[in-house]
């Protein structure tokens, strides 16, 4: 009896340690997936100038490398969540990871622009399956307690810091290996995640009969694609061309159709009661604009650094890090201020600060000092976006019923991704028009070409500043929530 009594505590401790170790291994696999998803939003930015030269892409076409990933990811994210819930979270995770690896391999081995575009779209499709599955697996494996808080903290840290890491990693891989490795590096990592996931992850599903809103998913995806393609055509054919107008009009028809289908669907992809609430609608619009500024701004900074200032890829990557780093710093500050002042002041001040940073970047030149002419603008943009993102993520969940929380949370990430796709296409069109307009009145000398590109960057940053100010106006008018109404368990997403 004595020996049994003495052995029992030891056996219990060993079982508890084994349980904790197993859960930590599962968390590591899940976080690996999150890291890949976030990295691929920015890792190709620094590699894009080299990829454009190697694959002979035009300036008008190059933005699709960024846009297609964000567009397919954002527009299919809600459907991906449904698939994970009903088809099985583990199965969706493994299929998403395997598909992501295959698409990455296709992109890394691409011999032309169309192959790279297809690969980036494929990455977005499988990321839309992978991301909600990973988040759901954390919820299943860490249902309560401090371990759950730690798991979500690590998940959020990767979401926020992964963008900065992607810029640096993209620079290192491009400079010392090849731009192709910015995509190929995903393959061995994904293989490790798939093999590990098969061994340690357990299957789970939501109760009830599967219900997939395929018509809604098709309408919103093709509607957004038509919108982005129309904006892209404007850079080549002008805003007055019939083709541009046709695609933009088609986008309106498809997106209106999406709203009508969602209102009548028995299992809507996006219940319209979520975004029609004024405060929540304001938060989603702010997410759209913030995503446009962040992804669009990083794209033009990359070309300014590498093409105009002749930075090496790794130098360009490091030079972009202060923007995302300042987002993390200001997010921490905003998290402290939010319970004290409420969301509205932060969501008004944040876009104004970011717009000021973008305005500073309109003063760049071909011999600008990074420290005095570029860095202050980057820090202001990042600081302003952090002030915007934290209250935005909280207000997006205000008043949402428990059964709508998943869709409301996913919509925050979806609008940021879609905003990035739309912003990249829109600002690329504005940039291209500014460059061609400048060259119309000047000779075709290399000096004029360089000044034309500079004029394009400045113009894009100026328009982006105006769009950011629009976010401040939206917040001032629509955000009416009190600090006492904020959801206590709202999760902040920075990626």
Q: Are residues 319 and 234 in the same domain?
A: no
Assign 452 a pLDDT band (cuts: 50, 70, 90). very high
Assign 208 a pLDDT band (cuts: 50, 70, 90). low
Q: How far apart are CA 328 and CA 387, in angstroms?
A: 10
Q: Are residues 399 and 437 in the same domain?
A: yes
Assign 489 a pLDDT band (cuts: 50, 70, 90). very low
What are the angstrom distances between the C-alpha of 261 and each of 91, 255, 269?
Answer: 29, 10, 10
Q: How far apart are CA 165 and CA 132, in angstroms?
A: 22
Assign 329 a pLDDT band (cuts: 50, 70, 90). confident
**Angle of CA points 265, 269, 271, to nearest 5°:** 70
Instruction: Evaluate the CA torsion angle 171, 175, 178, 184 in order and state its sign.
Output: negative
**Four-CA torsion 215, 394, 322, 288, nearest 10 degrees:** 30
Find out whether 124 and 64 touch, Cβ atoms under 8 Å: no
Q: Are residues 32 and 118 in the same domain?
A: yes
pLDDT at position 488: 44
Q: Are residues 302 and 388 in the same domain?
A: yes
Q: How far apart are CA 80 and CA 92, in angstroms?
A: 9
| Residues 6+ positions from 346 with CB-CB distance below 8 Å | 334, 337, 338, 387, 388, 390, 391
pLDDT tens-digit readout, 72-126: 988 888 888 888 888 888 999 999 999 999 999 999 999 999 999 999 999 999 9
When the pLDDT of each residue in the chain is averaged and rounded to a whole number, the result is 83
Written in H, E and C, the secondary structure of the chain is CHHHHHHHHHHHHHHHHHHHHHHHHHHHHHHHHHHHHHHHHHHHHHHHHHHHHHHCCCHHHHCHHHHHHHHHHHHHHHHHHHHHHHHCHHHHHHHHHHHHHHHHHHHHCCCCHHHHHHHHHHHHHHHHHHHHHHHHHHHHHCCCHHHHHHHHHHHHHHHHHHHHHHHHHHHHHHHHCCCCHHHHCHHHHHHHHHHHHHHHCCCCCCCCCCCCCHHHHHHHHHHHHHHHHHHHHHHHHCCCCHHHHHHHHHHHHHHHHHHHHHHHCCCCCCCCCCCCCHHHHHHHHHHHHHHHHHHHHHHHHHHHHHHHCCCCHHHHHHHHHHHHHHHHHHHHHHHHHHHHHCHHHHHHHHHHHHHHHHHHHCCCCCCCCHHHHHHHHHHHHHHHHHHHHHHHHHHCCCCCCHHHHHHHHHHHHHHHHHHHHHHHHHHHHHHHHHHHHHHHCCCCCHHHHHHHHHHHHHHHHHHHHHHHHHHHHHHHHHCCCCHHHCCCCCCCCCC
pLDDT at position 156: 66
Q: What percentage of the chain reaches a pLDDT higher than 90?
A: 29
Assign 145 a pLDDT band (cuts: 50, 70, 90). low
pLDDT at position 64: 87
* Domain termination residue (choose one: 167, 192, 210): 210
Q: Are residues 193 and 284 in the same domain?
A: no
Q: Quick one: tokens of 56?
A: 């002979």
The answer on pLDDT for 62 being more than 90 is: no
Q: Of 4-8, 32-36, 152-156, 375-379, which one has max mean pLDDT?
A: 375-379
Q: Would residue 1 count as lying in a domain?
A: no
Q: Would residue 63 count as lying in a domain?
A: yes
Q: How far apart are CA 460 and CA 41, in angstroms?
A: 20
pLDDT tens-digit readout, 250-287: 999 999 999 999 888 888 888 888 888 888 888 888 88
Task: Give the rounded distance of the alpha carbon of 274 from its chain centre.
Answer: 21
* Domain termination residue (choose one: 164, 182, 210): 210
Q: Are residues 309 and 222 in the same domain?
A: no
pLDDT at position 491: 42
Q: How far apart are CA 374 and CA 298, in angstroms?
A: 13
Find out whether 406 and 279 touch, Cβ atoms under 8 Å: no
Neighbours of 191 (CB within 10 A): 13
Q: Quick one: tokens of 376?
A: 């202050």
More confident residue, 336 or 371: 371
pLDDT at position 410: 77
The answer on pLDDT for 141 being more than 80 is: no
Q: Are residues 258 and 292 in the same domain?
A: no
Report how many domains make up the chain: 3
Q: Are residues 293 and 304 in the same domain?
A: yes
Q: Are residues 119 and 59 in the same domain?
A: yes
Q: Which of 273-282, 367-376, 388-397 has the lowest mean pLDDT?
A: 388-397
More confident residue, 426 or 142: 426
Instruction: Evaluate the CA torsion angle 205, 209, 210, 212 in order and state its sign.
Output: negative
Neighbours of 369 (CB within 10 A): 9
Backbone angles phi, psi at 450, to 5 degrees: -65, -40
Q: How far apart are CA 412 and CA 287, in angstroms?
A: 6
**Four-CA torsion 422, 426, 431, 436, nearest 10 degrees:** 140
Domain span holding position 258 = 213-266
Domain of 95, CATH number, reads 1.20.1250.20
Q: Would residue 287 count as lying in a domain?
A: yes
More confident residue, 11 or 252: 252
Q: What percentage of the chain reaches a pLDDT higher than 70?
A: 87
pLDDT at position 453: 92
Q: Would residue 5 count as lying in a domain?
A: no
Find out whether 425 and 61 touch, Cβ atoms under 8 Å: no
**Four-CA torsion 329, 490, 219, 234, nearest 10 degrees:** -20
Place of tokens 């299919």: 76
Burial bucket for residue 92 (CB in 10 Å: 0-12, 13-18, 19+): buried
pTM: 0.80
Q: Are residues 415 and 280 in the same domain?
A: yes
Q: Are residues 492 and 344 in the same domain?
A: yes
Neighbours of 491 (CB within 10 A): 16
């Amino acid at each position: 009896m004595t020996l049994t009594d003495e052995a029992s505590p030891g056996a219990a401790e060993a079982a508890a340690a084994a349980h904790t170790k197993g859960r930590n291994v599962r968390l590591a696999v899940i976080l690996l997936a999150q890291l890949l998803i976030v990295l691929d939003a920015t890792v190709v930015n620094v590699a894009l100038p080299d990829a454009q030269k190697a694959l002979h892409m035009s300036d008008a076409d190059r933005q699709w490398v960024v846009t297609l990933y964000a567009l397919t990811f954002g527009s299919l994210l809600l459907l991906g969540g449904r698939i994970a819930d009903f088809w099985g979270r583990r199965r969706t995770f493994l299929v998403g990871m395997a598909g992501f690896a295959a698409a990455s391999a296709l992109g890394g081995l691409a011999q032309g622009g169309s192959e790279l575009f297809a690969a980036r779209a494929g990455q977005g499709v499988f990321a839309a399956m992978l991301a909600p599955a990973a988040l759901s697996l954390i919820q299943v494996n860490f249902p309560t307690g401090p371990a759950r808080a730690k798991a979500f903290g690590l998940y959020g840290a990767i979401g926020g810091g992964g963008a900065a890491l992607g810029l640096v990693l993209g620079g290192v891989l491009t400079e010392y290996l090849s731009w192709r490795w910015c995509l190929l590096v995903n393959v061995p990592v994904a293989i490790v995640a798939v093999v590990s996931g098969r061994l340690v992850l357990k299957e789970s599903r939501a109760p009830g009969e599967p219900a997939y809103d395929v018509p809604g998913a098709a309408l919103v995806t093709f509607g957004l694609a038509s919108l982005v393609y129309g904006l892209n055509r404007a850079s080549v054919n002008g805003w007055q061309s019939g083709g541009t107008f046709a695609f933009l009009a088609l986008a309106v028809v498809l997106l209106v159709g999406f709203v009508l289908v969602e209102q009548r669907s028995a299992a809507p992809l996006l219940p319209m009661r979520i975004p029609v609430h004024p405060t929540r609608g304001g938060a989603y619009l702010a997410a759209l604009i913030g995503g446009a500024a962040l992804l669009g701004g990083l794209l033009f900074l990359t070309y300014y650094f590498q093409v105009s200032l002749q930075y090496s890829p790794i130098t360009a990557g490091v030079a972009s890090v202060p923007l995302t780093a300042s987002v993390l710093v200001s997010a921490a500050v905003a998290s402290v201020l939010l319970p004290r002042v409420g969301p509205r002041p932060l969501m008004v001040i944040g876009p104004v600060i970011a717009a000021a940073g973008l305005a500073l970047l309109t003063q760049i030149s071909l011999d600008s000092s990074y420290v005095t002419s570029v860095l202050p603008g980057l820090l202001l943009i990042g600081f302003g976006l952090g002030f915007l993102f934290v209250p935005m993520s909280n207000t997006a969940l205000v008043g949402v019923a428990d059964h709508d929380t998943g869709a409301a949370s996913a919509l925050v990430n979806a609008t940021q991704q879609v905003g990035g796709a739309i912003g990249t296409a829109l600002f690329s069109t504005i940039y291209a028009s500014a460059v061609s307009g400048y060259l119309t009145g000047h000779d075709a000398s290399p000096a004029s070409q360089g000044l034309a590109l500079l004029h394009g960057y400045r113009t894009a940053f100026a328009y982006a500043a105006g769009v950011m100010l629009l976010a401040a106006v939206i917040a001032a008018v629509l955000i009416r929530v009190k600090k006492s109404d904020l959801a206590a368990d709202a999760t902040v997403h920075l990626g």
